[in-house]
Structure 1
Amino acid sequence: MAYFLYSKKSIQIYICTSVITFLLGVPILVIGSLLKQEVGTECEFYLNAPIITLGALILFFSAAGILCAVRLKGLQLCCHGYIMFLLLTTLLGYSIFALVVSAKGGGEPLARRGYKEYRLEDYSSWLKKRVDNTKHWNQLKTCIYKSQVCSKFSDKFGDNTQHQFYSNKLSSIESGCCKPSNDCEFKYKSPTEWTKPKEDNYTNEDCNKWGNDKDVLCFNCQSCKAGLADAVKTNWKKAGIICIIFVILHMFFSFCGCLVLENPQLTV
């Protein structure tokens, strides 16, 4: 233990590992900040908060590890090592959870359509339960509305003919919240204005929930919930993969450092 705490080589390795960890931690903080700007995870703040917090803590304690190693504070290095282990374990747990939650779901391709449609039942039970809660969905719905996704959607495709509109690639939230389901077979007038047929025996309950009012649209539809679930799924999958790569690289460089300590003939 004394050798690890005070030998020149071990201190050099600790500094190198901490510097590498600091550099690897930057993408985690960046991806967390980018997720915060996405509509799906912007409206579900607690979904991007953990990765931002973990990224900031990793950067802080990596810098602290460098400082402790430079000042040859052996006991502090031990404490730092335990803290970094806990942070990495937490990050690994977050990554696994994110990948498990994002494993199921995805849009359903439609014939002669550039966009997909989304069904809430296709997603993981945890994510489905999260967005299908009435009280929680009212908050999410308000957030989606305030983000002006459908207003921008209307402006972007407002001049499209029916054929042009059907060929567009839409985001999951645009497809689920800003237009009626393809099952409804409404007549197209504009991206957010559709004419309902006289018959109202719909097999899809979302058809009855659609309204041309910009405050209504399909914000109460199951497809809108599914659209948000898909946005969260996509963003979480990206975050989970990046975090897993970080943990693997950190383990690799730590292992290389251990090899150097075990073989004194190797140089740092």
Structure 2
Amino acid sequence: MGCSNVLTGVLNFVTLVLSIPVVGVGIWLAKQHNTVCVRFLQWPIILLGVFILAVSVAGLLGAWCRVSCLLWVYLFVMFVLILLLFVFTIFAFAVTNAGAGQVLSGKGYKEYRLGDYSTWLQRKVNNPSYWETIKSCLSDGKVCNSLDAPQYSTISQFNAAPLSPIQSGCCKPPSSCGYTFINATNWQETTPPPSAFAKDPDCALWSNAPTEFCFNCTSCKAGVLQDLKQDWRKVAIANIIMLVFLIATYSIGCCAFRNNRRDGGGGFFNGGRYGKQSHKF
């Protein structure tokens, strides 16, 4: 068996083993959790695990058992996967290029404006059905509960807090609205309201209700997009590393496929006329 066949088989055996816990996590989520966020995640996780499992089996059998038709299918899927991953990586960098937080004097956190982000991302969060799902996730995840802590009990402590983008946009009213601090999740509207109320619709959308807060504010949408931007940038960098790995694996798989054809491997693409050769990469 050629070295490339051995390497292809080993790599696919590893991914096959890794796909089993991925499927297990998806099934566990389906049985243990009922929130909207987790229901949204469980099926993609299960399908991803099954897909990796199926591709790994095809690559393993194609390389070690010399089943050339399976190896051909494996290489075709790998090529499509590399192409899709490359396109997604470029897209992720493009749509997350715009947008940044506004630094506020005397505060440890930033505030975010929806108009600073790409049009594509704005359309996503402005879609009512899409945003309702996100709001359910924010409510179910209790993203603002961590602010009810002793270290945020005074306005000076709160202003110095390094709030996350979602906490800054969704768990407090915008600073320009002039609300009076009671505690980190309880703010009192001043009377009469400042002129900012007329300029910023978010000012009238704040609620002290734990299920609402500023979840309907454009600042909350901007905070979600900033958080998404940070995550997508990390994913895009991971994708570049994955692309290098996949291209190397694909190249080794091509060598294994060539060995199968020369050695008369089974399947529709055996290419037996080349005769058998051994110890080829």
Q: Give the equivalent residue in structure 1 for 2:180.
A: 187
Contact 2:169 2:219 survives alignment (8 Å): yes
Aligned letter for 2:122?
K
SS at match of 1:149: coil
Q: Give the equivalent residue in structure 2 for 1:160.
A: 153
In the alignment, structure 1 residue 251 sits paired with structure 2 residue 247? yes
Q: For the structure 1 residues 206 and 112, does the alpha-carbon distance in structure 2 shift closer, same or farther, using more than 3 Å as the test?
A: same
The range that moved more, 11-20 or 111-120, is 11-20
In the alignment, structure 1 residue 89 sits paired with structure 2 residue 83? yes
Q: Give the equivalent residue in structure 1 for 2:97.
A: 103
Contact 1:117 1:175 survives alignment (8 Å): yes
SS at match of 2:87: helix
SS at match of 2:149: helix
Cα deviation, residue 258, structure 1: 7.1
In the alignment, structure 1 residue 209 sits paired with structure 2 residue 172? no
Q: Give the equivalent residue in structure 1 for 2:127.
A: 133
CA distance in 1, matches of 2:247, 2:49: 17
Cα deviation, residue 80, structure 1: 1.6
Query: Residues 153-211 of structure 1: CA distance to partner in whole angstroms, max 9, x if unpaired?
Result: 34235752111111111111111111010111222110111222223222322111112
Unaligned runs of 5+ in 1: 1-6, 37-41
Q: For the structure 1 residues 45 and 227, does the alpha-carbon distance in structure 2 shift closer, same or farther, using more than 3 Å as the test?
A: farther
Aligned letter for 1:248?
V
SS at match of 1:220: coil
Q: 1:65 aligns with which of 48, 56, 59?
A: 59
Q: For the structure 1 residues 8 and 130, does the alpha-carbon distance in structure 2 shift closer, same or farther, using more than 3 Å as the test?
A: same
Identity %: 35
Contact 2:78 2:250 survives alignment (8 Å): no
SS at match of 1:236: helix
Contact 1:58 1:84 survives alignment (8 Å): no
CA distance in 1, matches of 2:115, 2:42: 23
1:9-88 map, 5 Å: 9-15=3-9, 18=12, 22=15, 43=37, 53-54=47-48, 57-88=51-82
SS at match of 1:146: helix
Query: Residues 114-168 of structure 1: CA distance to partner in whole angstroms, max 9, x if unpaired?
Result: 1111111111111111101234323322331122112x13423575211111111
SS at match of 1:215: coil
Q: Give the equivalent residue in structure 2 for 1:170.
A: 163
Q: Give the equivalent residue in structure 2 for 1:236.
A: 232
Task: Tell me how large the CA RMSD over aligned residues is.
Answer: 3.6
In the alignment, structure 1 residue 143 sits paired with structure 2 residue 137? yes
Q: For the structure 1 residues 78 and 214, does the alpha-carbon distance in structure 2 shift closer, same or farther, using more than 3 Å as the test?
A: closer
Unaligned runs of 5+ in 2: 30-35, 259-276
CA distance in 1, matches of 2:121, 2:153: 34
Aligned letter for 2:190?
P
Cα deviation, residue 75, structure 1: 2.2
TM-score (norm 1): 0.76
SS at match of 1:104: coil
Q: For the structure 1 residues 56 and 172, does the alpha-carbon distance in structure 2 shift closer, same or farther, using more than 3 Å as the test?
A: farther
Aligned letter for 1:172?
P
Aligned residue-pair number: 249
Cα deviation, residue 76, structure 1: 1.9
The range that moved more, 240-249 or 193-202, is 193-202
CA distance in 1, matches of 2:153, 2:76: 59
SS at match of 1:219: coil
